Amino acid sequence: MAAPLQFSQEISQRLRPQRPPVPDGVRDGSAIADGPAGATCAGGSCGRPGRTAGRGAWLRTGRRGRTSRRDRMRTVLSSPPSLVLLASFPKSGNTWMRCLLTAFLTGDPLSDLGSLAAPAMLSVRQQFDDHTGISSADLGLDAIDTLRPSFHRAVSEAMEGPVFVKLHDRFYYNHAGDAVFAADAFRGVVHVVRHPCAVAVSYAHHLDCTIDRAIDLMADEAAMHDWRPDSIATVIPQRIGSWSGHSASWQDQGEIPRLTLRYEDLLRDTEMHFASILEFAGEDADRARVARAVEAARFEALRSIEAAKGFHEKVTEGSFFRRGSANSWRDELSETQIERIVSDHGAMMARFGYERQAVS
């Protein structure tokens, strides 16, 4: 049987030790990589820069005291990496998935929402700083991206898997030509997608903005989370991109084994699809235990817990767990708004079997 899932409290205790040596010039980010501009996944394709970095290449080759690529490969071949990504565009069901995982682990009804499984630990600035020995507040975005693969490997090597990790980043390559989310750190990725019309309504509620503004953000290839030019957030910036670009980046990447799941299908048959996620990760999907977890994570139960005890991940007023239905957007979007979303994302919608009409 696979080892049990880990909680964020254990992660915080086990991630603090090692501080790798810091090469000259890294602290200000100016010498991290001198290669060409890093590739993003605009337009649904992910490109790799043709030339690797100069200084800073120690992260790739094992120079300057780091573990060599050959030694890392021996470790990968002897045991799978511990981390399993729960990757999704924001407001696509990631938090509900974490509630299911938490209920599965404990075997009991959820009593509060303060310690959900699959934390977003790869985005926590303090943990990134502790592992690299560098203050990320002094680094530019490209420098952080160059260090992230090494950080991810360190986290994976420190944990006993499978460990689920929440993620909203798109898949992309950094300026050194490395996949930020690479096979030697991640056992697999569960890519959860949701109809973009439903995402638009939920995203607007989450951001406390108009639906039209949410639709604009969903079409922005340069969209980021937690990046503020005038302040430092407690998490490192996350490159989100557009709904279509984000979806294509995970669908088209060939680095990490992938399981794609539509939110609507998870709603329709939660037990079957949740069990498939556990099995994909190498976890024993005991059916009775799965059934209890599904019952514990019903939306009605989650709304009651939130009303009684709150939810610290909520960023605006109102309930985080709203309707939890697949097709409520039909009553909340205008025809013009639906047309905009289909115009922006029609090609990617077709890849997932999404149509203009409600999902059956």
Given a contact cutoff of 8 angstroms between Cβ atoms, the answer to whether 57 and 220 are in contact is: no
Residue 167 — very low, low, confident or very high, per pLDDT cuts 50/70/90?
A: very high
What is the reported pLDDT for 34? 27
What is the reported pLDDT for 108? 74
Residue 111 pLDDT more than 70? Answer: no
**Would residue 2 count as lying in a domain?**
no
Q: Which residue has the tokens 């200000």?
A: 28
Residue 135 pLDDT more than 80? Answer: yes
Task: Report the b/e string of 139-163 with b at 16+ CB within 10 A.
Answer: bebbbbbbbbbbbbbbbbbbbebbb
**Would residue 328 count as lying in a domain?**
no
**Would residue 132 count as lying in a domain?**
yes
What is the reported pLDDT for 35? 28
**Would residue 71 count as lying in a domain?**
yes
Residue 148 pLDDT more than 50? Answer: yes
What is the reported pLDDT for 48? 35
**Would residue 139 count as lying in a domain?**
yes
Q: Which residue has the tokens 């024993």?
A: 284
What is the reported pLDDT for 40? 32
- Condensed to tens digits (0 to 9), the pLDDT of residues 37-56 reads 223 333 333 333 332 222 22
Mean pLDDT across 299-323? 56
Q: Indicate the average pLDDT of the chain.
A: 77
- Domain span at 12: 8-195+227-312
Question: 224-225 and 238-239 as β-strands: parallel, antiparallel, unpaired?
Answer: antiparallel
Residue 250 pLDDT more than 70? Answer: yes
Burial zone of 322 (CB within 10 Å; 0-12 exposed, 13-18 middle, 19+ buried):
middle
pTM: 0.74
Q: Cα(219)–Cα(337) distance, rounded to whole angstroms?
A: 13
**What CATH number is given to the structural domain containing 28?**
3.40.50.300
The secondary structure of 214-241 as a DSSP string is: HHHHHT-TT-EES--TTS--SB--EE--
Q: Cα(304)–Cα(306) distance, rounded to whole angstroms?
A: 5
What is the chain's length?
360
Number of separate domains in the chain:
1
What is the reported pLDDT for 328? 82
Distance (Å) of CA 170 to CA 41, 138, 177, 179, 356: 8, 24, 16, 11, 25
What is the reported pLDDT for 296? 87
Residue 259 pLDDT more than 60? Answer: yes
**Would residue 281 count as lying in a domain?**
yes
Residues 6+ apart with CB under 8 A from 50: 36, 177
Residue 63 pLDDT more than 50? Answer: no
Residue 223 pLDDT more than 90? Answer: yes
Dihedral of CA atoms 251, 256, 258, 263 in degrees, nearest 10, equals: -70
Residue 320 pLDDT more than 90? Answer: no
Q: Cα(11)–Cα(284) distance, rounded to whole angstroms?
A: 22
Residue 238 — very low, low, confident or very high, per pLDDT cuts 50/70/90?
A: very high
Lowest mean pLDDT among 8-12, 224-228, 321-325: 8-12
Mean pLDDT across 294-307? 77
| Main-chain phi, psi angles of 204, to 5 degrees | -60, -40
| Cβ neighbour number for residue 206 with a 10 Å cutoff | 18
Angle at 171 between CA 279 and CA 8, to 5 degrees: 55
Residue 219 pLDDT more than 80? Answer: yes
